[in-house]
């Protein structure tokens, strides 16, 4: 019967969509959607008894919708027995489908108790060939939503979001003026913006991208004193905290307890915890490794004090290497244990307009009840086909630096005798804290600090202060890339809010 759930002899489960006949064997074929126990998801979901997760695989070159592509087929001979499964949009442990007291043991409950499905694991590939090679485009855990629940819904998605963060102002939490009650969606009020907080903000690369995407900057924190001096110089109207993540959380909690929750609550939170420990260039243990890896897991507390609708995270791509997969799984479980949906992908930043080869792990997560934003599509390519722009080149980027720009005096640099290279292409190597063995295309000198900043996606006018400027630049998330990410997130939030996003008015405080 369509809609029924069965357990298969291999330990997986199937929600039956349809039953077909095999013309060769006259045997019935069951078609439907696979599910696995959450305890089998390699630590990415909490290992809770009798909790299930749908498993979907999607090819981008297949025009069929997700639910059609995800249909699997099994013979009657592969069926073990019928099982009772409840779909719910509630966060664990609500809506569990069995009582422990009804069973003599956990094994008995696992074999015969009711099951609960709250999650969908979606693996997306560019093509079937890449699926066979397990070369994923992106992966996601999406929480079951209210409109997918079969039977009574105990809480709406809006109620789940309210439980997480309190009131959500549709269209963005920042309203610069007093508006009459006649202002209602689907349009936004003049100057209304989504608010933004930046954890591990550094010199302000991601914050600059958020500002370019017209988000309202509320706060940023980082433990690096030199970087904070630069950050405050660029965003003087926002609050800056020169603190480690644990210290920031302690400070925020004290102020929240005193009634200042609105000071830290944001619509969009970005996290860039220190990534050197996971970098492929990191080959020798350093004195900060323990602190840097611990910072990765301090993000849960930051999320809890900021109560965002959406979280974005950037991390070195080395975290997906086998020796660090435990860290990645634990990071994913940190989000899912909070009831957040999330997607993650390895992104080549040149595809988002950066004039250098730079690959990073990008995560986008949404709070309970909030639809999960998409990953931004590429804006650039090597060929410029399909409406994309050609890759940004080094020469074109350097040509945009205005005459007399700060920290841009090539004559002050020592003459060099490096191998010349073609500047009408992207930078061949990633920028790092030490430059990444990159030099000017002429081969006769290094880049100026201003040129380093431009090639790292900073616009003219971003201020760098203090010492170790190249390190500040190399550690930064490129602002041009962050802008692409946040503009995409903002569009999807507007869609979720039913907003027709009109041209925005830049508001100067």
Where along the chain do its domains lie? 5-148, 171-390+475-496
Instruction: Note the pLDDT of residue 320.
Output: 87
Instruction: Note the pLDDT of residue 185.
Output: 60
* Tens-digit pLDDT profile for residues 225-244: 999 999 999 999 999 999 99
Predicted TM-score (pTM) of this structure? 0.93
Q: How many residues does the chain have?
A: 509
Beta carbons of 483 and 196 less than 8 angstroms apart: no
Instruction: Note the pLDDT of residue 282.
Output: 39
Token duo for residue 327: 């860290």
* Tens-digit pLDDT profile for residues 103-138: 999 999 999 999 999 999 999 999 999 998 989 999
Q: Which residue has the higher pLDDT, 181 or 202?
A: 202
Q: What is the CATH T-level fold of the domain 5-148, as seen in this structure?
A: SH3 type barrels. (2.30.30)
Flag whether pLDDT at 435 surpasses 80.
no
Residue among 275, 367, 450, 494 flagged as catalytic: 275
Instruction: Note the pLDDT of residue 412.
Output: 92
d(CA 449, CA 431): 12
Q: What is the CATH number of domain 171-390+475-496?
A: 3.40.50.150
Q: How sure is the predictor about 509, in pLDDT bands with cuts at 50, 70 and 90?
A: very low
Mean pLDDT of the region 357-364: 95
Instruction: Note the pLDDT of residue 294.
Output: 59
Instruction: Note the pLDDT of residue 177.
Output: 75
Same fold for the pair 5-148 and 171-390+475-496: no
Beta carbons of 196 and 268 less than 8 angstroms apart: yes
* Tens-digit pLDDT profile for residues 137-195: 999 999 999 999 977 777 899 999 999 999 999 999 999 876 554 556 678 888 999 99
Q: Which residues contact 257 (CB under 8 A, 6 or more apart)?
A: none
d(CA 412, CA 435): 17
53 included as an active-site residue: no
Instruction: Note the pLDDT of residue 463.
Output: 96
Q: What are phi and psi of 59, to 5 degrees?
A: -105, 130
Instruction: Note the pLDDT of residue 179.
Output: 57
Token duo for residue 133: 């090679």
d(CA 274, CA 288): 10
* Tens-digit pLDDT profile for residues 285-334: 445 545 445 566 679 999 999 999 999 999 988 888 888 888 899 999 99
């Amino acid at each position: 019967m369509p809609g029924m759930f069965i357990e298969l002899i291999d330990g997986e489960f199937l929600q039956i969509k349809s039953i077909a006949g095999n013309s060769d064997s006259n045997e019935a074929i069951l078609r439907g959607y696979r599910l696995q126990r959450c305890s089998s998801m390699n630590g990415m979901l909490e290992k809770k008894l009798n909790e299930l997760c749908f498993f979907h695989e999607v090819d981008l070159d297949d025009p069929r919708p997700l639910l059609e592509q995800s249909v699997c087929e099994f013979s009657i001979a592969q069926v073990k027995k019928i099982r009772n499964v409840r779909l719910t949009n509630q966060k664990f442990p609500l809506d569990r489908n069995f009582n422990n007291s009804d069973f003599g043991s956990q094994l008995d409950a696992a074999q015969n108790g009711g099951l609960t499905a709250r999650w969908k694991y979606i693996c997306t590939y560019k093509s079937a060939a890449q699926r066979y090679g397990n070369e994923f485009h992106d992966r996601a855990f999406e929480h079951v939503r209210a409109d997918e629940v079969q039977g009574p819904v105990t809480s709406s998605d809006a109620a789940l979001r309210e439980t997480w963060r309190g009131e959500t102002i549709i269209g963005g939490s920042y309203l610069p003026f007093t508006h009459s009650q006649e202002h209602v969606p689907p349009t936004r009020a003049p100057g209304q913006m989504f608010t933004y907080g930046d954890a591990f903000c550094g010199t302000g690369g991601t914050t600059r991208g958020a500002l370019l995407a017209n988000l309202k900057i509320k706060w940023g924190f980082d433990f690096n004193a030199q970087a904070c001096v630069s950050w405050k110089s660029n965003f003087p109207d926002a609050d800056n905290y020169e603190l480690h993540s644990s210290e920031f959380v302690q400070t925020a909690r004290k102020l929240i307890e005193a009634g200042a929750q609105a000071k830290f609550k944001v619509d969009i939170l970005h996290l860039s915890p220190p990534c050197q420990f996971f970098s492929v260039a990191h080959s020798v243990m350093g004195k900060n490794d323990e602190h840097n890896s611990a910072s990765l897991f301090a993000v849960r507390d930051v999320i809890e004090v900021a109560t965002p609708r959406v979280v974005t995270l950037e991390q070195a791509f080395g975290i997906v290497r086998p020796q660090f997969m435990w860290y990645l799984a634990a990071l994913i479980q940190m989000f899912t244990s909070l009831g957040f949906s999330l997607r993650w992908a390895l992104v080549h930043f040149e595809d988002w307009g950066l004039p250098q080869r730079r690959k990073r792990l990008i995560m986008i997560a949404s709070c309970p009840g909030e639809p999960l934003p998409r990953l931004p599509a590429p804006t650039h390519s090597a060929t410029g086909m399909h409406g994309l722009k050609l890759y940004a080149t080094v020469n074109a980027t350097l040509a945009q630096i205005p005459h007399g720009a700060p920290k841009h005096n090539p004559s002050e640099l020592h003459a060099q005798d490096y191998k010349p290279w073609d500047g009408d292409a992207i930078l061949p190597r990633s920028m790092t804290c030490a430059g990444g063995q990159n030099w000017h295309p002429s081969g006769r000198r290094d880049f100026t600090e201003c040129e380093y900043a431009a090639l790292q996606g900073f616009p003219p006018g971003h201020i760098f202060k203090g010492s170790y400027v190249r390190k500040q630049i190399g550690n930064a998330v490129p602002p041009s890339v962050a802008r692409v990410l946040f503009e995409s997130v903002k569009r999807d939030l507007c869609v979720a809010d039913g907003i027709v996003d009109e041209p925005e008015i830049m508001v100067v405080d």
